[in-house]
Amino acid sequence: MYLIFLGVATSLFTNLKFSTILLAIIYVTILSMLTNLGMLGIGFIFASGSLSFKRIGQWSTLLQAAIILFSNVGIPLTTPLQLIVPFSGGIEIVRSLILNKPISVNELIITLIVNILWFIAGIVVLNVSVKNERKNGSFTAF
């Protein structure tokens, strides 16, 4: 609802049509859900690290900072290697939407594949970690 209100306000104060803004809001919402799926996979990997190593608070903070540092949150992509971070492709697509640039199908496909792979990797790593901890019986030692 908040984004729709902002869309109405934006269309009143700019020369953009409300339908264009509404379509961008829908694209951004779908893209956010997709990139959050990839970040959920990274969260599963952090959770499995916590199960296996018990005290990873400092490491998770360092890894989160590294992900933000090497992604394209502040500046546009400089290398294709940055696309392995789940939300980097999504940020580039949203940046293109905001700047009214065309979005290539390759960007969408790469973003989709990267986020699905992170999600699957997170599920696999977490399942392996849970099976290992059940077998070793170290759930009680935190």
User: Which tens digits make up the pLDDT trace of 60-105?
Assistant: 778 777 777 777 777 776 777 778 888 888 888 888 887 878 888 8
Rounded CA gap, 83 and 85, in Å? Answer: 5
Indicate if the pLDDT at residue 140 is higher than 70.
no
How much is the pLDDT for 99? 80
How much is the pLDDT for 118? 94
Indicate if the pLDDT at residue 126 is higher than 90.
yes
How much is the pLDDT for 9? 84
Rounded CA gap, 25 and 13, in Å? Answer: 17
How much is the pLDDT for 114? 93
